[in-house]
Structure 1
Amino acid sequence: MVVMRSYETDSAVGNKIEPWLKTPFDLLAFGPRAGMGALLSMPEKLSTLQTDVTRALELLQDPRPLEEKQQVVLKEVESTLVEFLEKGATVEGEVLANVKTLLPPEAANVLNELIPEPPNKQHQGMDGNVVPVEPMDVATPPPTYYQADVLGNQVASEMTEIKNAVTGLKTALDAVRTNADAAATNILRLNLKEARDQLARRVAEVSPVTESDPSIAAATREARILLEEVDSSFFP
C-alpha cells in the first residue's frame, strides 16, 4: 500500500525507519522485509513511474535551497522504504502464523519470544509482550482455508488499501488548501494528483466479489465523493 507523503518541517529524516531497527531480529529481517515489499510494490511503482519522473523534474526546478530539496528527497525515499517494510512484514506475519498452527504450543511460544511483532502490527496480548498460543490437539489436522476465510481476508485487505488512500488524499488536499508558499505549489499539486490517482486505482481495483460487502460499499462511496470534490476543484 502507498501512503501519501507529507513533509512536515519538524519531522527528522530517519524517524520513520527507527522503529524498524529496534531489535537484533529487526536488523536481520530488514533486508528481506524491504526486498519482499519492493517486489510486491513493483506493479504499482511501474504504474506511477511517469508521475514520479514529473515530480522529480519539478523538484529540480524548485527555487528552494538545495539542502531543503535534499531533505524532501530523503523523506520521499524513507517513506517508500517504510512502505516496502510494512508490506514485507505483513507477508512475513502471514507465513509465521501458518507455521505456528503446525507446531506444538511450546515451539510456537518460542517463536513468539524470538520474533517480535513488527511496528505496523499491534500486540494482541494484554501485557503487550508474548502472544499466548492456544494448545492444539496434536491429532488435529492442519487448518483448511475455506472460501469464507479467503473472502474475509480480501475484504479486509481492500478496506485497508482504500482507507489508506483516502487518508493520503485528504492529507494532500489539506496541504494544497493551507499552503502559503508559492514555491511549494507545484510539488503540492503533484502530490495531490498522485494521491488522487492512487485512490482512483484503489476504487477501480475493488473485486466484483467484494464490492457488495457493506463495508466495502461504504468505503468506496466515501472515496468517490472525495474524488468528485478534488476533481471539481482542481482537475476539472
Structure 2
Amino acid sequence: MLCFVKMTKGKKQIKIQKNPMLGSFPPPNLSLTKMEDDPPDFELTEVPPFTKIATDDSAYKTWVCLYPVYFDSTKSHQEGRRVIRELAVPNPLAKDLAESVKKLGLSCVFEPHKTHPRNWDNPGRVRVQLFNEQKIPLNSNIPTRKELIKQVALTMSEVQKNNPQQFPPNHSPAVSRGILKEGKSNDSGSTTSSTSAPVTGQATSGSGSNTSTTSTASPQKKKRKGRK
C-alpha cells in the first residue's frame, strides 16, 4: 500500500505514509476532495489557464480517447497512425491535440501521464466528449469517431504552424561512422591479403610432398607474430 487513509468521526483526517519511490508526489489513489481541511504538502504542476482540474474521472470513461501517434506522419499504420499521411503532421504533441479539440468546440480532458503502447516516448492523451448521455453527437458535423479524427487532423496542422516545436536531429553527424567504416575496410583488406598468401602457397605446394606444406605453414605463424 502506498498510503493509509484514516477517517475520524466529525472531522476529516488524512494520514499519508511517504514512499521513498514517490518522494513528495501524491499517491495515485489519493482523493483531493478529502484534503479540504488539510492542504497538501506538495505543489501541483502548472496548467494552462483554460484547463480545469478534475477530481473524479468516472464521468469521462465513455469519452473518446485520442493519442498523438494517431496524427504522426513519421509513423506507419502498423505503428499506430490512424489518418492518411497527407493529413498527418510530424511529431505532434498532446497539448497541440487538446488545443485542436478545443477549436472544434468540443470538451476534452488532458491526461499527461497516459501513453500509447506503441509510442511510449511521446506521453499524453486527450479524452473528447463526442456524445451526450443519450448517445447523440454534440456536433452534427462530427457524428462518428472516424470523422472526429479527420477533423482534428485538419485543425492540428494549423495549430502546429502557430506553435512550432523544435526537435533535435534524429541522427548525430556521421563522423564516427566514417572512422568505423575506414577501420573495417583496412581490417578487411589485411585479412584478404593474409588469407590469400597461404592459399596460393598450398596450391603450389599441393603437387609436392606433405613436408612442403608444413614448411610453408611455419613462416605463416611467424609472419602473424611479427604483425602483432
Structure of higher RCO (CA pairs closer than 8 Å, 6+ residues apart): 1
Larger Rg: 2
* TM-score clears 0.5: no
TM-score (structure 1 length as normaliser):
0.21
Q: Which has the higher strand share?
A: 2
Q: Which has the higher helix share?
A: 1
